[in-house]
Structure 1
Amino acid sequence: MADKNSRRAADSDLAAPGPDRIRNVVLVGPSGSGKTALVAALRRDRVADADQRSVSLTVTPLPHEGIKINLVDTPGYADFVGEVRAGLRAADCALFVVAANEGVDDATRELWRECDAVGMPRAVVVTKLDHARADTDTVLLGARAAFGEKVLPAYVADGQGVVSLLEAGTDDPRRAELIEAVIEESEDETLMERYVGGEAIDEKLLVDDLEKAIARATLFPLIPVCATNGSGLGELLDLCVRAFPAPAEHVPPEVFAPSGAAAPAVTCDPAGPLVAEVVKTTSDPYLGRVSVVRVFSGTLDPDSAVHVSGHFSSFGADGHEDHDEDERIGALAYPSPGQQVLASHVVAGDIAVVSKLSRAETGDTLSSPEEPRVLRPWTLPDPLLPVAIEAASRSDEDKLSPALSRLAAEDPSLRVEQNPETGQLVLWVMGEAHAEVALDRLQHRYGVAVEPCDVIIPLRECFTGTAKGHGRHVKQSGGHGQYAICDIEVEPLPGGSGFEFVDKVVGGAVPRQFIPSVEKGVRTQMERGVREGFPVVDLRVTLLDGKAHSVDSSDMAFQTAGALALKDAAEQTRISLLEPYDEVAVLVSEDLVGAVMSDLSSRRGRLLGTEQVADRTVVRAHVPQRELVRYAIDLRAMSHGAGSFSRTFAHYEPAPE
């Protein structure tokens, strides 16, 4: 019965005949702004079921006036900006959702800048009109201050619903401002002169010009809606259908061959070569890996062969290994909540759910095996909060590695690192909420329990003075024994100099073939450390003397003697610890520069300077890695989610006693 219902739904209104009948609209905005409730209201679902905070991207297809609108709902919390970027990639236009009782936050301003940089058409939706503290006038002022003067109200609430400001007879002082803005964007150069001369401009002409300006991303309408009583919902859908561009009007991402060579650009043509992208990956206990896919070119058919390409490193992104493989997709469906809506095929411009792609990861490209392609991936946020974990039990340890691989395949903003020095397993995440979601998915989706632990910062050891060391490795136990003696002198080198080995043996006290053995033993012991178990750096070791036996001396014996000599030298002088410093670049608004500089100084950081980048400032400093463990959280709190930073290793410096 379920399959019959699914096929009936698929045959009715979700199968778009072509790209011109599709609108892909992403909803972005702060957590709690009402995005998910708005989608539920547009679907005519009970709003109460959608009043929970979303932590992942969801796609809801919605038919309206013969057009299929794919509503891409994204999380509002800053930790899940990776899902937001994926939503922006899947869509061709954006609705910025702002609550009437809250206004615009800094993180939403940053997303507006990103959309502005690529010319994405946008509209501003004001929700929660029925809230006790709703103030649409204040929200309008805040939106214009945050997004620019081209944000103008196209509709106003009148207590009974919403009214278009372009409608003749509307008595609102903002009507004249909207009409003038529309006329300024009109292609009819005589329109302004006629309007100033007192001519009444036809409403249909104004509406047509408004829709063209919205599609060109030169004017951004603001529309008030109320999810609980339905005010403005129909007008919002009309705007999506009439003013937002179809997929064919949106420039697709750059396309390359898997080798990295440039490939011919693709167009949104169902008859063209297949080029699609995985924008979301989840794991279902019954279906296995499930991929949400945006088709940019060609037509996707069920049970067909596709080439799966993942090449993040080719575009300067860290994280997942490059991979290429051919797979056969399973069933195709539309991502409709509540039931599986099967699809006989999916045309260019549409969004689909693909099952049984066992190797596909979020961000991968699907194309024809005969003509494989790779799309330039969207900009991935750099996860900068480390969370060290360990398996809760032996059985969890056995399941942990494959579970982490599947988790990383779903979420490109999550990076898994096995630290080669400390042996710790570290998840690099966007913030505390991101960490909580990752650990929860490990336990409840993959059945692996883990426990967080303190992050260990790998230090270095260094000699502070010159010393001599004696290494004696002599054992006689019948047959061939072991015999090697060496004397060395050590002296510290300037930071960053590395290791030097000097041979000053005279008279053949140490046979020539065993001198490299002494050096190898010293290097091995330097890696193991001489006091706290951290590697030794910046050292010159001079081999002065030694003894050998004609029968019992060997390569391994002199390696052991060299290691013992270094440990003995360490007993003769003080060993200090060095801690790693990173160079950080913090990007914030001008009003936060002082607070950021003061905070970095409190973290034992040394300020290097500032520079202006557009309307914001970059603060650079050298800061100990130990002080940066929670910096991603602290900077977000300090900057209200709008600040960002990058970090690269700089050097080592003596750690405090």
Structure 2
Amino acid sequence: MPSNSEARSPRCIAVVGPFQSGKTTLLEAILARTGAIPRQGSVDTGSTVGDGSKESRLHKMTVEVGVASTTFLGENYTFIDCPGSVEFLHDMRAALPAVDAAVVVCEADERKLPQLAMVLREIEELGVPHLLFLNKIDKADKRVHDTLAALQPASRVPLLLRQIPIWHDGIVIGYVDLALERAFVYREHSASQVVPLEGDELSREKEARFQMLERLADHDDALMEQLLEEIEPPRDRVFDDLAKELREGQVTPVLLGSALKGNGIQRLLKALRHEVSGLADTTRRLGLTPGADTVGYVLKTLHTAHGGKMSIVRVLSGQVADGATLMGAKGDAARISGVFKMQGQHTEKRGPAITGETVALGKLDPVVTGDTVTSGKTPLPPLAEIKPVPPVLAIAVAARDRKDDVKLGQALNKLVEEDPSLVLVHNAEQSEIVLWGQGEMQLRVAVERLQDRFQIAVTSHPPRVGYRETIRKGVVQRGRHKKQSGGHGQFGDCVLDIQPLPRSSGFQFAEKITGGVVPRQYIPSIEEGVKDGLKEGPLGFPVVDVAVTLVDGSYHTVDSSDMAFRTAGRVGLVEALPNCQPVLLEPIHHVEVYCPNDATAKVNAILSGRRGQILGFEPRADWPGWDVVRAEMPEAEIGNLIVELRSATAGVGTYTTRFDHMAELVGRAADLVIAAKKAAAA
């Protein structure tokens, strides 16, 4: 159990779980029960504190962390409502390191087990103590022990049932707390009512409690001896073991409730108060030794429409006041412009923040999400490594009005700073700004923010594929440029031997001039002209894998110039290429798909249906029950691959890709690409 002084330290609790499991509703129920809000709002009506952003309310889903604070029995708590969609999980990853514990919200739905397993894996790898809140218990239709058995494969830590449901006419109307040995009947949006524990409920409680104690005794020899000798352990000893084994990651307690009806909230809050340790354990887990300097962890960066940049910071030691200077990880310091309390989207200026509190700090421009900030003179290393997963879907974005181009670039950089799982790529070859992300919804939200928050009208489309073309046969072609317009004219003449090269050879230029028919100073200009001609071949794409040799030519002592010979080189190549049997090349990528092994056959079918060549599959290292499928696929088929993969893998499949080689594309597929290129150029 935490000491009294530690218990009074402000806590920070993450609320996490699969998409649509009820996390935001649970936070709303907690805020209502503790008096932080007058009544409980709902996601459907857009009246919750957690989903306060315009995009969250529009889509009825959490798209970024929400922060809200409250008090319970005289202690201060900040709850971090984390997105559940795999597309927005980076916000959860960034928030988790500095929280004291996590409440994992889930339901008895085996279809969401892969998502639950991903969330639990993140928590377990960070060593964050966590409880599991089995939500929507009022809709349960099977025994809780069966539900627990179904959920256990998602957790590498044993799930420990803390409560068993009380059934009446096939509906759960309350619960028995196995540690307290008391029965409670739910009252909607109120604390549960204590009822006598008797009859069948008493015998069920005895059996379930013994199973709970057996699990606790796996890590407590003294408790095991008491059970073997049929000695009833003291209640305080049971709670001490619950707190110790939760803190050390040996068990994950499971509580029951219905967030929508406000059931099970009081018992969850008491578990957080009495069984979850506080900041001292958190700083030990992070390897931080508190000293005289202020130290904080940046768990989220926001760019507000009117208040500018705000950094959400958990104060791990010391205190933070308006006007103080904090240093980020790169050694750049900034002066705080305001300390704010956050309650969803509402911010309110407040006084200094003390150790343990989570607040928003204004105008820390050099600081980014994941930074350890300090008032000291030396930057601190990161307390946790947060690696964004590789992006899987892209759109090309452009300002509808060209005068907004600079503004668009600034806005995109702010979006990427807010959510580092977005990746911005400037594709100079295609003249495109490409925004990569984790899925359709994340990119849709990004576009909505560009338009709503930054007032930039944008267009978007799938990025262009990097097609190339090459030649199958060689020719010898003369390139001649002659122009007379009074005074000095223009004259350049060259003969080019153009030949195909093996794939991935690029471009090679040589010369075999004899007798000075082309002065040596003009040869580099001919090469530049040839390169100009390679920028767009007869099919409309850059030309590669070509060797060009200058074999002959002529010049004029007055009219020849670098520009004339450059033009001649370009003319010669452009006139030659249609006679070289041009052929289209498409980029082929090496793709690795990560999926639960029960979906491997579906993934193979999806890849094959997209002209993918399956290279094989094998178990994914350190991911029991997962496979890695390897394939080679055309870039054109990868575009929206993630949509099909997520559909086939309960929302958790993903992939990585890298360019491998170029391959010929012929037939109807090539005709369609060439026709689309010509139509776009028309």
Partners of 2:503 and 2:7 in 1: CA distance: 61
Aligned residue number for residue 184 of structure 1? 218
- The partner residue of 2:176 within 134, 141, 163 is 163
What per-residue deviation string (whole Å, max 9, x for no partner) do you get for residues 300-328 of structure 1?
Answer: 22112223446xxxxxxxxxxxxx64321
SS in 2 for 1:245: coil
Structure 1 unmatched runs, 5+: 1-15, 255-264, 311-323
* 2:279 counterpart of 1:266: no
What per-residue deviation string (whole Å, max 9, x for no partner) do you get for residues 106-131 of structure 1?
Answer: 12211212222232212110122333
- 40-49 or 493-502: which moved more? 40-49
Which amino acid is the alignment partner of residue 604 of structure 2?
A: M
* 2:13 counterpart of 1:25: yes
- Spell out the pairing of 1:345-364 with structure 2 (5 A cutoff): 345-364=352-371
1:475/1:229 Cα in 2 relative to 1: closer, same or farther (>3 Å)?
A: closer
Which amino acid is the alignment partner of residue 18 of structure 2?
A: P
Which amino acid is the alignment partner of residue 140 of structure 1?
A: L
SS in 1 for 2:473: coil
SS in 1 for 2:369: coil
Which amino acid is the alignment partner of residue 26 of structure 2?
A: L
- Spell out the pairing of 1:626-641 with structure 2 (5 A cutoff): 626-641=636-651
* 2:259 counterpart of 1:227: yes
Whether contact under 8 Å (1:266, 1:297) holds in the other structure is no
Aligned residue number for residue 573 of structure 1? 580
Aligned residue number for residue 276 of structure 1? 296
Q: By how many angstroms is 1:92 displaced?
A: 3.3
- The partner residue of 1:250 within 264, 273, 282 is 282
Aligned residue number for residue 635 of structure 2? 625
- The partner residue of 1:303 within 317, 323, 328 is 323
SS in 1 for 2:41: helix
* 2:269 counterpart of 1:237: yes
- 546-555 or 486-495: which moved more? 546-555
Whether contact under 8 Å (1:584, 1:620) holds in the other structure is yes
Aligned residue number for residue 540 of structure 1? 547
Aligned residue number for residue 416 of structure 2? 408
Whether contact under 8 Å (1:332, 1:342) holds in the other structure is yes
Which amino acid is the alignment partner of residue 608 of structure 1?
A: L
Whether contact under 8 Å (1:361, 1:409) holds in the other structure is yes
Q: By how many angstroms is 1:536 displaced?
A: 1.5
Q: By how many angstroms is 1:378 displaced?
A: 0.9
What per-residue deviation string (whole Å, max 9, x for no partner) do you get for residues 521-555 of structure 1?
Answer: 222322x1222342221111111001122232222
Partners of 2:660 and 2:264 in 1: CA distance: 54
Whether contact under 8 Å (2:105, 2:134) holds in the other structure is yes
Partners of 1:532 and 1:80 in 2: CA distance: 41
What per-residue deviation string (whole Å, max 9, x for no partner) do you get for residues 56-80 of structure 1?
Answer: 1012222223432221111122221
Q: By how many angstroms is 1:370 displaced?
A: 2.6
- Aligned alpha-carbon RMSD (Å): 2.6
Aligned residue number for residue 48 of structure 2? none
* 2:157 counterpart of 1:144: no
Q: By how many angstroms is 1:283 displaced?
A: 2.8
SS in 1 for 2:203: coil
Partners of 2:557 and 2:285 in 1: CA distance: 71
Which amino acid is the alignment partner of residue 513 of structure 2?
A: V
What per-residue deviation string (whole Å, max 9, x for no partner) do you get for residues 414-438 of structure 1?
Answer: 1222211111222212111112211
Structure 2 unmatched runs, 5+: 45-59, 167-171, 182-196, 668-682
Partners of 1:253 and 1:520 in 2: CA distance: 61
What per-residue deviation string (whole Å, max 9, x for no partner) do you get for residues 141-185 of structure 1?
Answer: 322232257102112233664332133575322211100111112
Aligned residue number for residue 455 of structure 1? 463
SS in 1 for 2:105: strand
Aligned residue number for residue 196 of structure 1? 228
Partners of 1:212 and 1:653 in 2: CA distance: 60
Q: By how many angstroms is 1:494 displaced?
A: 0.9
Partners of 1:41 and 1:599 in 2: CA distance: 42
1:504/1:112 Cα in 2 relative to 1: closer, same or farther (>3 Å)?
A: same
* 2:293 counterpart of 1:286: no
Partners of 2:490 and 2:585 in 1: CA distance: 36
- 205-214 or 599-608: which moved more? 599-608
Partners of 2:347 and 2:506 in 1: CA distance: 61
* 2:43 counterpart of 1:55: no
Which amino acid is the alignment partner of residue 55 of structure 1?
A: V
Partners of 1:604 and 1:103 in 2: CA distance: 29
Q: By how many angstroms is 1:409 displaced?
A: 2.0
TM-score normalised by the chain length of structure 1: 0.87
1:279/1:603 Cα in 2 relative to 1: closer, same or farther (>3 Å)?
A: same
Aligned residue number for residue 80 of structure 2? 72
Q: By how many angstroms is 1:272 displaced?
A: 4.0
- 224-233 or 403-412: which moved more? 224-233
Partners of 1:364 and 1:490 in 2: CA distance: 56
Partners of 2:122 and 2:409 in 1: CA distance: 35
Which amino acid is the alignment partner of residue 453 of structure 2?
A: R
1:464/1:349 Cα in 2 relative to 1: closer, same or farther (>3 Å)?
A: farther
- Spell out the pairing of 1:552-571 with structure 2 (5 A cutoff): 552-571=559-578
Whether contact under 8 Å (2:101, 2:128) holds in the other structure is yes
What per-residue deviation string (whole Å, max 9, x for no partner) do you get for residues 44-101 of structure 1?
Answer: 1433344542221012222223432221111122221122222323423221101356
Aligned residue number for residue 193 of structure 2? none
What per-residue deviation string (whole Å, max 9, x for no partner) do you get for residues 238-260 of structure 1?
Answer: 22122223233136798xxxxxx
Instruction: Report % sequence identity.
Output: 32
SS in 2 for 1:217: coil
SS in 1 for 2:480: strand
1:607/1:136 Cα in 2 relative to 1: closer, same or farther (>3 Å)?
A: same
1:207/1:308 Cα in 2 relative to 1: closer, same or farther (>3 Å)?
A: closer
Whether contact under 8 Å (1:23, 1:244) holds in the other structure is no
SS in 2 for 1:47: coil
Whether contact under 8 Å (1:89, 1:378) holds in the other structure is no
SS in 2 for 1:560: helix
Partners of 1:291 and 1:149 in 2: CA distance: 33
Which amino acid is the alignment partner of residue 565 of structure 1?
A: G
Partners of 2:389 and 2:150 in 1: CA distance: 27
Whether contact under 8 Å (1:611, 1:619) holds in the other structure is yes
- 16-25 or 581-590: which moved more? 16-25
Aligned residue number for residue 511 of structure 1? 519
1:252/1:208 Cα in 2 relative to 1: closer, same or farther (>3 Å)?
A: closer
Whether contact under 8 Å (1:396, 1:450) holds in the other structure is no
What per-residue deviation string (whole Å, max 9, x for no partner) do you get for residues 256-303 of structure 1?
Answer: xxxxxxxxx633x2x443443432222333312222123345432211
Partners of 2:427 and 2:541 in 1: CA distance: 14
- Spell out the pairing of 1:313-328 with structure 2 (5 A cutoff): 325-328=332-335
Q: By how many angstroms is 1:398 displaced?
A: 5.5
What per-residue deviation string (whole Å, max 9, x for no partner) do you get for residues 423-463 of structure 1?
Answer: 12222121111122111111111111112224311211111
Whether contact under 8 Å (1:461, 1:536) holds in the other structure is yes
* 2:393 counterpart of 1:385: yes
Whether contact under 8 Å (2:583, 2:666) holds in the other structure is no
What per-residue deviation string (whole Å, max 9, x for no partner) do you get for residues 198-237 of structure 1?
Answer: 2221121111111100110101110002335543212211
Which amino acid is the alignment partner of residue 305 of structure 1?
A: T
Which amino acid is the alignment partner of residue 620 of structure 1?
A: R
Whether contact under 8 Å (1:101, 1:133) holds in the other structure is no
Partners of 1:115 and 1:338 in 2: CA distance: 26
